[in-house]
């Protein structure tokens, strides 16, 4: 018994030692699914890190809610010729450590990304840079090796200060120094990350005193924290089954809006069955996207016509679409030489393996797709793997069908990466081995062309050809869904899912 008492005393002492103070009301608490991986924008790629870094750092430019490029640290820029971009920096911008922003910092940021020693995942975005010139402290000129239009979007990447990072690259990931409206003030690794307002911010100073990001991995618990009022904002972090409960709760607000995350079914075009375009069209016609969006996605998605969403400046809506039509699908399969052996009976025309991750919603969607394809006589073996294995298989081309999403689709040059024949793995994302010389030529022209109108035309054609060729079945664009406390004001849902609007948001006491 004495042992028990000792244990009790020890536990209480230990628990008190770990105790925390209650949060003041000017604090906004955001629930996140996983911890950010890096506070160095040159290293981070995951959504959580990008959202937090978006509040700590500024890029030369940023994307507005329409996906257009607008000034950020650069007050203006000019394109001197198709290979030369000149940026004029804002005056009076200071990093969190008090040093002023200069063109040297900009040059340093991109040169360090290009330095192989940094092993930055963003290096390929900037590899067309030939040199960076800094004629004066507030002017920076990028000279490209060849015309490369997607370059501008890449400049949304956060600018880091030169002095600090030359001392130690690791220091920045640990104690980030940016120019943004918030400063990372406290962190409990893997648990909570607090950002405090930066009163010296060059724009209007933030109204919130503090933003706390809390890692809550469990979907249900994240929602329960929200209901209890201990978390004030969830962005795309809510289980869709809980949406009816959110609507009933007078203390919560629900906002959803179109997003730029695109979901699709990928085909392996080396597969003897799937290389037949008629079969792919039959599969596209057999899928009832409307029902899935309604019953499984709770109306938080919109049917997709291609990678680029209607929000994108280069979007082309006049492409071939495939409305649900099982009868036509069956006819096409017969025509393609795959008759149904026993009519509507249990035997299938052929059976395909469909790979997916272990995400619950994904698995349910795949099961629905399986059912729909069964209706037209296509058997589906579902294989759901833990993420590392699934992704490994997809990358190595070890699949027949799979379903995945492309997130944050803003720059149409993404088509080059996914469908250009030079990007067939191991060196790209053309995982289905799609080859079309016409597409190759258009995509090469698209990245060289700097005139937006001409680019729009090029990518419009690309979208039309791909809708015809069907290397992917377009499923849907996911909406961004935000649930927040009724006390939070001024939060604006951004299509890319960034949190920059929090700079002007406030909490009612």
Partner 1 sequence: MFNYIIKRLILLIPVVFGVVTLVFFLVHLIPGDPVEVMLGEQARAADKEMLRHELRLDRPLMEQYRLYLTGLARGDLGRSIHFREPVLTMITRRFPATILLTLAAMFVAILIAIPIGIVSATKQYSLIDNASMFFALLGISMPNFWLGPLLILLFSIQLGWLPVSGMGGVEHLILPSITLGTALAAILTRMTRAGILEVIRQQYIVTARAKGLAEKKVLYKHALKNALIPVITILGLQFGALLSGSIITETIFSWPGIGRLVIQAVNQRDYPLVQGCVLFIALTYVLVNLTTDLLYSAADPRIRIGRGGQA
Q: How far is the CB of 455 from partner 1 (least distance, A)?
A: 21
Which residue, 270 or 398, has its beta carbon nearer to partner 1?
398
Q: How far is the CB of 221 from partner 1 (least distance, A)?
A: 5
Instruction: Spell out the alpha helix ranges (H) of 18-85.
Output: 47-56
Q: How far is the CB of 454 from partner 1 (least distance, A)?
A: 25
Q: How many CB atoms within 10 Å of residue 285? A: 22
Which residue, 20 or 509, has its beta carbon nearer to partner 1?
20
Which residue, 189 or 342, has its beta carbon nearer to partner 1?
189
Which residue, 8 or 79, has its beta carbon nearer to partner 1?
8
Q: How many CB atoms within 10 Å of residue 66? A: 10
Q: How far is the CB of 447 from partner 1 (least distance, A)?
A: 15
Q: Packing angle between helix 360-375 and helix 277-286, nearest 10 degrees?
A: 110
Tell me how far apart the alpha carbons of residues 425 and 281 are, in angstroms, rounded to a whole number.
25
Instruction: Tell me 101's DSSP state.
Output: P
Which residue, 198 or 400, has its beta carbon nearer to partner 1?
400
Q: Please report, as ranges, the residues that interact with partner 1 according to CB under 8 A.
A: 4, 7-8, 10-12, 14-16, 18-20, 34-35, 37, 45, 116, 119-121, 123-125, 127, 170, 173, 188-192, 214-218, 220-221, 224-225, 227-228, 230, 386-389, 391-393, 395, 417, 426-429
Tell me how far apart the alpha carbons of residues 65 and 456 are, in angstroms, rounded to a whole number.
19
Which residue, 7 or 80, has its beta carbon nearer to partner 1?
7
Nearest Cα to Cα of residue 162 among 117, 116, 95: 95
141: β partners: 86, 133
Q: How far is the CB of 292 from partner 1 (least distance, A)?
A: 26
Q: How far is the CB of 38 from partner 1 (least distance, A)?
A: 8
Q: How far is the CB of 7 from partner 1 (least distance, A)?
A: 5
Tell me how far apart the alpha carbons of residues 439 and 179 are, in angstroms, rounded to a whole number.
41
Tell me how far apart the alpha carbons of residues 283 and 322 are, in angstroms, rounded to a whole number.
10
**Do 99 and 163 meet the contact criterion of CB atoms below 8 Å apart?**
yes
Instruction: Spell out the alpha helix ranges (H) of 23-102.
Output: 47-56
Which residue, 279 or 424, has its beta carbon nearer to partner 1?
424
């Amino acid at each position: 018994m004495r042992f028990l008492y000792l244990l009790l005393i020890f536990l209480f002492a230990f628990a008190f030692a770990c105790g925390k103070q209650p949060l003041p009301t000017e604090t906004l608490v955001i629930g996140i699914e996983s911890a950010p991986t890096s506070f160095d924008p040159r290293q981070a790629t995951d959504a959580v890190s990008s959202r937090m870094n978006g509040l700590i750092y500024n890029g030369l430019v940023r994307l507005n809610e329409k996906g257009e490029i607008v000034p950020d640290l650069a007050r203006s820029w000019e394109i001197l010729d198709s290979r030369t971009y000149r940026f004029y920096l804002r005056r009076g911008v200071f990093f969190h450590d008090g040093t002023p922003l200069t063109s040297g910092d900009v040059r340093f940021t991109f040169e360090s990304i290009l330095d192989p020693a940094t092993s930055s995942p963003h290096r390929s975005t900037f590899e067309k840079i030939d040199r960076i010139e800094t004629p004066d402290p507030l002017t920076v000129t990028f000279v490209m090796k060849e015309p490369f239009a997607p370059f501008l979007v890449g400049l949304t990447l956060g600018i880091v200060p030169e002095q600090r990072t030359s001392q130690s690259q690791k220091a920045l990931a640990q104690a980030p120094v940016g120019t943004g409206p918030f400063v990372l003030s406290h962190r409990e690794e893997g648990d909570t990350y607090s950002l405090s307002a930066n009163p010296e911010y060059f724009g209007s100073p933030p109204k919130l005193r503090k933003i706390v990001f809390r890692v809550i991995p469990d979907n249900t618990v994240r929602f329960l924290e929200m209901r209890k009022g201990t978390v004030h904002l969830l962005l795309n972090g809510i289980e869709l089954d809980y949406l009816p409960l959110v609507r009933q709760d007078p203390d919560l607000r629900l906002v959803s809006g179109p997003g730029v995350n695109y979901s699709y079914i990928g085909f392996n075009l080396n597969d003897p069955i799937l290389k037949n375009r008629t079969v792919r069209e039959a599969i596209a016609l057999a899928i009832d996207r409307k029902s899935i969006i309604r019953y499984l996605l709770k109306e938080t998605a919109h049917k997709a016509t291609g990678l680029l969403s209607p929000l994108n400046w280069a979007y082309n809506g006049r492409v071939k679409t495939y409305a649900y039509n099982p009868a036509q699908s069956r006819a096409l399969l017969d025509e393609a030489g795959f008759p149904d052996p026993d009519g509507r009976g249990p035997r299938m025309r052929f059976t395909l393996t469909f790979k997916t991750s272990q995400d619950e919603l994904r698995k349910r969607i795949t099961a629905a797709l399986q059912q729909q394809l069964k209706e037209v006589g296509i058997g589906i073996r579902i294989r759901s793997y833990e993420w590392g294995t699934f992704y490994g298989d997809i990358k190595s081309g070890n699949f027949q069908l799979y379903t995945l999403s492309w997130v944050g689709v803003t720059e149409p040059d993404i088509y080059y990466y996914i469908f250009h024949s030079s990007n067939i793995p191991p060196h790209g994302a053309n995982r289905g081995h799609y080859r079309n010389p016409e597409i190759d030529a258009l995509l090469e022209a698209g990245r060289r062309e700097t005139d937006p109108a001409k680019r729009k035309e090029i990518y419009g054609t690309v979208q039309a050809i791909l809708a015809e060729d069907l290397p992917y079945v377009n499923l849907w664009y996911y909406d961004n869904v935000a649930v927040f406390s009724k006390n939070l004001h001024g939060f604006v849902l951004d299509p890319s899912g960034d949190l920059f609007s929090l700079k002007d948001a406030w909490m009612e006491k």
